Amino acid sequence: MWYIPGEMMNNPYLLLTPGPLSTSATVREAMMKDWCTWDDDYNQGVVQPIRRRLVAMATGEPGYTSVLMQGSGTAGVEAVLGSALPADGKLLVLVNGAYGRRMADIARCLRIPVVTAEVAETEPLSAELLTRELAADPAISHVAFVHCETTTGILNPLPELCAVTKAAGRVLVVDAMSSFGGVPMDVGDLAVDFLISSANKCIQGVPGFSFVIAREAAMYECEGRARSVSLDLFDQWQCMERQGGKWRFTSPTHVVRAFDQALAELEQEGGVQARHRRYQTNQDTLVAGMERLGFRPLVASDWQSPIITVFAAPDSPDYDFKRFYLGLKARGYVIYPGKVSTVDCFRIGTIGEVYQQDVAGLLAAIEDVIFW
């Protein structure tokens, strides 16, 4: 097993993961001041501008709003599913990975009637699959799926899936946890009803809250439906609307301030289009280098996102992921274990405060630790 020198334990390493991810020093520095959750300097000066900027990032069309929710991205998904589905509603979840399955698990836990349509983890979802499922079950009221499924890094065909859902008159829930802010999209053009993402993904903040961008009309329909007090999406939204950005319960103030700084840095970079180009360059560099070293991506390039890439484990009896992982960590790079249920693999993220020279450094470290 690789030995990690004691001094390395105190040194920063680069997180090549899909979130939490490596953040800028200035984002981390933004957390060094305390804020009062009741004060206008925080609510009117930080929270409300964040809400407006998120909507502006999402669409130029009127009729959309945003709400911030304490907790992880999964908590945001649970808030939406638990608040948007009426008692007589039925949810269809399209699944091609662990995070789609998690949405279905949430629905079952909340006693929401749910059906799933599943394809292989290395294959994208399809409009044809969705069309068949909706035609077969008129009771389905809501459709949910993951845009970028980080089990594999697949980018599911968002425009096609949205078009089928809306043509069928169903309410649309999109988990854009790992794509919003890093992949261009317009939720108004796509007619998305609820989009969920998290502070610690492509906007490059730190963990602590999720956010929902939604049609105002769809938000109003959530009144009285919540299956949880703390995850009541409508009540949280109304509190922020009526009290100028105030959260119902304790706000993660330091995390919110870091997110405010991260949004400013996204704008300084040139917005979502520019960030997407950087992420894509990172991913292109990674794949070219890994293939040169003999590693094979599992996902076809047509469906590969710039967010995270899954590689098949080497076909060698000497390969051991933990040994590989620790060797890279000792050299300053942290990667992710695999999550594909049928293939031995590992994942490398290319988002966050990561640039082409960082990917080149990772590739050199991988070449250095190859032992098979």
- CATH code of 277's domain: 3.90.1150.10
Q: Which tokens go with 334?
A: 């942290």
**For 113-125, how does the pLDDT look when each residue is reduced to its tens digit (9 = 90+)?**
999 999 999 999 9
Residue 1 lies in a domain: no
The answer to whether 198 touches 175, Cβ cutoff 8 Å, is no
Residue 122 lies in a domain: yes
Residue 219 lies in a domain: yes
Least confident of 5-14, 115-124, 281-290: 5-14
pLDDT band at 9 (very low <50, low <70, confident <90, very high): very low
Boundary residue ending a domain (230, 247, 267): 267
- Asked if the bond preceding 124 is cis, omega within 30° of 0, the reply is no
Domain count, the chain: 2
* CATH code where residue 204 lies: 3.40.640.10
Do 159 and 258 sit in the same domain of this protein?
yes
Boundary residue ending a domain (249, 267, 285): 267
Residue 292: count other Cβ atoms within 10 Å of its Cβ.
Answer: 10
Do 178 and 297 sit in the same domain of this protein?
no
1-10: string of b/e by CB count within 10 Å (b at 16+)?
A: eeeeeeeeee
The answer to whether the Cα torsion of 114, 119, 123, 128 is positive or negative is: negative
**Residues sharing a CB contact under 8 Å with residue 287, sequence separation 6 or more, in sequence order:** 297, 301, 304, 309
Alpha-carbon span 185 to 188, nearest angstrom: 9
Q: Which tokens go with 47?
A: 């929270």
Do 68 and 160 sit in the same domain of this protein?
yes
Residue 197 lies in a domain: yes
pLDDT tops 90 at residue 175: yes
The answer to whether 82 touches 227, Cβ cutoff 8 Å, is yes
CA distance readout (Å), 256 to 129, 197, 201 = 39, 14, 14
The answer to whether the Cα torsion of 249, 253, 256, 260 is positive or negative is: positive
Q: What share of the chain is helix, strand, coil (3-state, %, to 5)?
A: 40, 15, 40
Of the chain, the percentage scoring pLDDT greater than 70 comes to 97
Residue 42 lies in a domain: yes
Do 175 and 197 sit in the same domain of this protein?
yes
**For 36-59, how does the pLDDT look when each residue is reduced to its tens digit (9 = 90+)?**
999 999 999 999 999 999 999 999
pLDDT computed for residue 372 by the predictor: 60
Boundary residue ending a domain (267, 289, 308): 267
Alpha-carbon span 183 to 107, nearest angstrom: 27
**CB-count exposure of residue 118 (10 Å: 0-12, 13-18, 19+):** middle
Do 11 and 41 sit in the same domain of this protein?
no
Do 45 and 92 sit in the same domain of this protein?
yes
Alpha-carbon span 309 to 307, nearest angstrom: 7
Cite the DSSP H helix spans in 270-346. Answer: 271-292, 321-330
Residue 249 lies in a domain: yes
Do 296 and 168 sit in the same domain of this protein?
no
Per-residue pLDDT averaged across 183-198, rounded?
A: 98
Q: Which residues pair with 123 in a beta bridge?
A: none
**Residues sharing a CB contact under 8 Å with residue 223, sequence separation 6 or more, in sequence order:** 234
Do 68 and 80 sit in the same domain of this protein?
yes
Length of the chain: 372
Do 46 and 178 sit in the same domain of this protein?
yes
pLDDT computed for residue 58 by the predictor: 98
pLDDT computed for residue 1 by the predictor: 35
What is the bridge-based pairing of β-strands 345-349 and 308-312? antiparallel
Do 311 and 230 sit in the same domain of this protein?
no
Residue 120 lies in a domain: yes
**For 315-336, how does the pLDDT look when each residue is reduced to its tens digit (9 = 90+)?**
888 899 999 999 999 999 999 9
Do 52 and 108 sit in the same domain of this protein?
yes
> Which domain, by its residues, includes 57?
30-267
Do 182 and 243 sit in the same domain of this protein?
yes
- The gap from C-alpha 33 to its chain's centroid, in whole angstroms, comes to 27
pLDDT computed for residue 255 by the predictor: 98
